[in-house]
Amino acid sequence: MIFVPCATIASAGITNAQEANSDLAKKLSNPVASLISVPFQFNYDRGFGPNNGNRETLNIQPVIPFSINENWNVISRTILPVIWQDNIAGPSGSQFGLGDITQSFFFSPKEPTAGGIIWGAGPAFLIPTATDDLLGSGKFGLGPTAVVLKQEGPWTVGALANHIWSVAGEANRPDVSSTFLQPFVSYTTSDAWTFTLNTESTYDWKGEQWSVPINFQVAKLVKFGKQPVSFQAGARYWAAAPDNGPEGWGFRVAMTFLFPK
């Protein structure tokens, strides 16, 4: 009989747990991973308009994959913003409430394609759920969305994009024609730390103006009992913004609940 030291067994258990956490953390870097997650993402930005207004946004962003056959998933990604803002349009006072929902559906192969490429594509919808005129567009919009990425070792490199045109809504509100571009690169360590650099750039084709925040974020995945949770914090710098848009530095903190199968 061979006796295995308890310390060796414990060490192997810790290593396996770390690898499992690291794999989960890498899945969070993949927008079309087959993983249910519910992020709560808080953003702070300032410098709006002549009164240097500020905005705090809590984005509630559930991601739910659905299997449609043995080869394909549909991934639902929802962004529901809850917004607090003050003097973002000059002396416009304070507003609090819901913003417009962005709803995306990605049809994605369950396995990476040739060369390890992971991708998904489908429709995106802008739903006018804002509770105040200054919190949303007043328009219903739709358009295409797509994501492509590759994960190799600890690295994830890719980009997500969409374009939305308004097709209905309040006639007295400006039409929407907006392109969103999110190139990203992340590095996940063996103990489930993830370092991410991205932009979440938007080009307004009607106003002919860019919004370009550059984000650097650090995340750590931990478990409370059997419940995995990722905590994230980071800073952003507005490299470009509309004339009355945010300026300088902002920050982001987030907490994401994961529900692996």
Q: How high is the pLDDT of residue 199?
A: 97
Residue 66 domain-assigned?
Answer: yes
Rounded average pLDDT over 113-118? 91
Return the pLDDT at 257: 97
At 147, the pLDDT band (50, 70, 90 cuts) reads very high
Over pLDDT 70: what percentage of the chain? 93
pTM of this structure: 0.90
**Could you tell me the residue range of the domain that residue 63 belongs to?**
6-259
- Assess whether pLDDT exceeds 70 at residue 71: yes
The DSSP-derived string for the chain is --PPPHHHHHHHHHHHHHHHHHHHHHHHT-TT-S-EEEEEEEEEEEEETTTTEEEEEEEE--EEEEE-SSSEEEEEEEEEEEEEEESTTSS--EEEEE--EEEEEEEEESS--GGGEEEEEEEEEEE---SSGGGS-SEEEEEEEEEEEEEETTEEEEEEEEEEEEEEE-TTSPP-EEEEEEEEEEEE-TTSEEEEEEE-EEEETTTTEEEEEEEEEEEEEEEETTEEEEEEEEEEEEEE--TTS--SEEEEEEEEEEE--
Query: How remote is the C-alpha of 237 from its chain's centroid?
Result: 17
Q: Which residues of 86-124 are buried (b: 16+ CB within 10 A; e: fewer)?
A: bbbbeeeeebebbbbbbbbbbbbeeeeeeeeebbbebeb
Residue 134: which CATH number? 2.40.160.40
Q: How confident is the model at residue 7 (pLDDT cuts 50, 70, 90)?
A: low
62/76 Cα distance (integer angstroms): 8
> How many separate domains does the chain show?
1
Q: How confident is the model at residue 233 (pLDDT cuts 50, 70, 90)?
A: very high
Q: pLDDT tens digit string along 82-108?
A: 999 999 988 889 999 999 999 999 999
Alpha-carbon distance 63 to 65, whole Å?
7
Q: Does residue 1 sit within a domain?
A: no
pLDDT of residue 12: 47
Residue 105 lies in a domain: yes
Domain annotation covers residue 163: yes
Residue 15 belongs to some domain of the structure:
yes
Residue 171 placed within a domain: yes
